[in-house]
Structure 1
């Protein structure tokens, strides 16, 4: 296909027209569909963790464990909430209207920080839960196998999370190299 054919095809494409009001509605925080879904996820997660925190003390024998072990559990449960809030504010202020190359560089740097916090918060969350639930357990025989199995699942989960973020960052880096 020749360049003139491409130009004529491009000129014949009819864009989907949106009114100024519909575009302004998308820019409002309460109307943006991505931000709505993130807010819904945050509400569900925070509610779930609060319910867990209300019942863990008696349901999982938190009263039998030392105070500092309970603090580790509470802190590890706060990490996913902070991660969700950080993700919400990250998506709320994604770009600022500069040229595309600078916007991609800024996106790449912010996404690297977000990926690091994502992986770090998952490690802290998993570590805190494992620490709380394995505190004062006498590991003998088959219990070692179960603990190693659980640890393997969590390490695998973190490795998959790392590879997903590495692939996303590599893709953005390749796009930046194309400019």
Structure 2
């Protein structure tokens, strides 16, 4: 155990001055925020490119207007959801003490998690409605739809499980702070 402890003690820790930490708090340029912003930009570019090409590539001109509108609204909804997550992460926490701040953040995270799971389901439903319209059905296509639906269901199940775990950990920290 001593060699392990010695190795742990000898790991260099990154040092930041108080001024650096305060500057990060004021500018809100933490590494996590930068990663979220990077992911948001990549997804926004992808969603935008998809919206630019879907009409020609996926025969949007052969589908009814309401399906085109549903697809565009679904994709924009996913983008808005991502922007909302970024804005929530970037928003500074306010409160008179740590416990109040964390309780406020937990309430915000619970709302955001509910919207996250629900918005994904609704967005995928809109996208599927667009792509499944005007299809000449056969057994292979039915099987493909079932497999895709199962994959989306599994993804939603794990997304909900991930959010439940995050919220539970956050709740446990608050309980420890109270106790």
**Fold shared by both chains (TM-score > 0.5):** yes
Q: Residue 17 of structure 1: CA displacement?
A: 6.4
Query: 2:62 aligns to what?
Result: 64
> Which deviations, in whole Å up to 9, do the C-alpha atoms of 1:61-110 show, x marking residues without a partner?
00000111000000110122111111111111241252122122111100
DSSP-derived class of the 2:70 partner? helix
Contact 2:113–2:163 under 8 Å retained in 1: yes
Q: Residue 20 of structure 1: CA displacement?
A: 4.1
Aligned equivalent of 1:172, options 170, 173, 178: 170
The 5 Å alignment of 1:1-179 reads: 18-29=16-27, 31-178=29-176, 179=178
Q: Return the alpha-carbon distance in structure 2 between the equivalents of residues 153 and 17 of structure 1.
A: 44
Q: Return the alpha-carbon distance in structure 2 between the equivalents of residues 44 and 19 of structure 1.
A: 32
Q: Return the alpha-carbon distance in structure 1 between the equivalents of residues 135 and 88 of structure 2.
A: 40
Contact 2:99–2:174 under 8 Å retained in 1: yes
Q: Return the alpha-carbon distance in structure 2 between the equivalents of residues 97 and 111 of structure 1.
A: 16
Unaligned stretches of 5+ in structure 2? 1-12
**TM-score of the pair, normalised by structure 1:** 0.84
Cα RMSD (Å): 1.9
Q: Residue 145 of structure 1: CA displacement?
A: 1.2
> Which deviations, in whole Å up to 9, do the C-alpha atoms of 1:106-145 show, x marking residues without a partner?
1110000110111122112211221111011132322211
